[in-house]
Amino acid sequence: MIVITGGSGKLGSQVVERLLRRVPAEQVGVSVREPGRATGLAERGVRVRRGDFADPDSLASAFEGATQVLVVSTDETGEEARRHHAAAIDAARDAGAKRVLYTSHQAAAGDSLFAPMSDHAAAERHLAAAGPAFTALRNGFYAATVPLLLGQARETGELVAPADGPVSWTAHADLAEAAAVVLADEGRFDGPTPPLTAPVALDLEDVAGLLSGSTGRTIRRVVADDDEWVAGLTAHGVPEGQAAMLLGMFRAARRGEFATTGSDLEDLLGRPATPLRAILG
């Protein structure tokens, strides 16, 4: 049985849907914090069990009988994220899974300027030490982040953000399909994968150009001062720590941490990756 955590979440739910095109439903299980949100999957024959990274005892039942477990990384950061990822990895091992997979990031590194990348690096280290065979899916930066960075650009004609750098923005749907391919073809990757990214890296100047083309009006890229941008976020209620972390994303992009591209994702998919233009609409 293949068990996927976060089976009702943004990425996990898409992995499940694509996996069901490749393996029978009775061979698929999901671990979810609220089983009631996955009744549709249960009706289709998928095993649905409660599993919460913050409640390690619940994971023993959620992962029971699994040959592979895909641990979908949480939205948390820092010690909480590291503790929860480690708990899920250990529970998968203790349940007897032969392979544990984890949704990591192309820029996973302990010295990253963007805090979540060091959390991914810590999860990869834990995976390597846990015992079973493992695969760290080094996903490209989720393209769904881009609309959050636009602010009021469509209305004002200005895309205002700190100085950045090229990012290989990659669609959730493509990464979900890639995960399903890897799960259905057990052992295809051992250890960290190559970067699974879109074939091009774009900065926000490029994004402004895409928006200009789709809206029919000129969208101008405006570079904001780092400190002023953070101050603007905190003035709108964003906690200081979170604002500083978000700035780290731009600083990391400036250093080229997210600029890596490659053909490995498209090779897995057997088709071109979804362009950012299609995601922005």
* Predicted pLDDT of residue 236: 84
Across 41-51, average pLDDT: 96
- Which tens digits make up the pLDDT trace of 29-44? 999 999 998 999 999 9
Count of C-beta atoms within a 10 Å radius of residue 262: 16
Q: Which residues have C-beta within 8 Å of that of residue 37, sequence separation ≥ 6?
A: 8
pLDDT band at residue 215 under the 50/70/90 scheme: confident
**Measured distance CA(161)–CA(68) in Å, rounded:** 41
Instruction: Provide the token pair at 235.
Output: 């003035």
**Measured distance CA(101)–CA(136) in Å, rounded:** 6
Nearest to 58 by CA among 35, 27, 24: 35
- Which tens digits make up the pLDDT trace of 167-206? 999 999 999 999 999 999 887 899 999 999 999 999 999 9
pLDDT band at residue 225 under the 50/70/90 scheme: very high
pLDDT band at residue 281 under the 50/70/90 scheme: confident
DSSP character string of 137-199:
EEEPPBGGGHHHHHTTHHHHSEEEEE----B--B-HHHHHHHHHHHHHSTTSS-EEPSPB--S
Q: Is the four-CA dihedral 119, 121, 126, 131 of positive or negative sign? A: positive
User: Contact at 8 Å (CB) between 227 and 165?
Assistant: no
Instruction: Provide the token pair at 107.
Output: 């820029």
The 3-class secondary structure across 47-116, one letter per residue, is EEEECECCEHHHHHHHCCCCCEEEECCCCCCHHHHHHHHHHHHHHHHHCCCCEEEEEEECCCCCCCCCHH
SS3 for 32?
Answer: strand
> Over 90: is that where the pLDDT of 113 sits?
yes
Higher pLDDT, 186 or 128: 128
Which pTM value belongs to this model? 0.94
pLDDT band at residue 159 under the 50/70/90 scheme: very high
- Which tens digits make up the pLDDT trace of 79-90? 999 999 999 999
**Measured distance CA(279)–CA(143) in Å, rounded:** 8
Q: What is the Cα 2 distance to its own chain's centre?
A: 19
> Over 90: is that where the pLDDT of 148 sits?
no
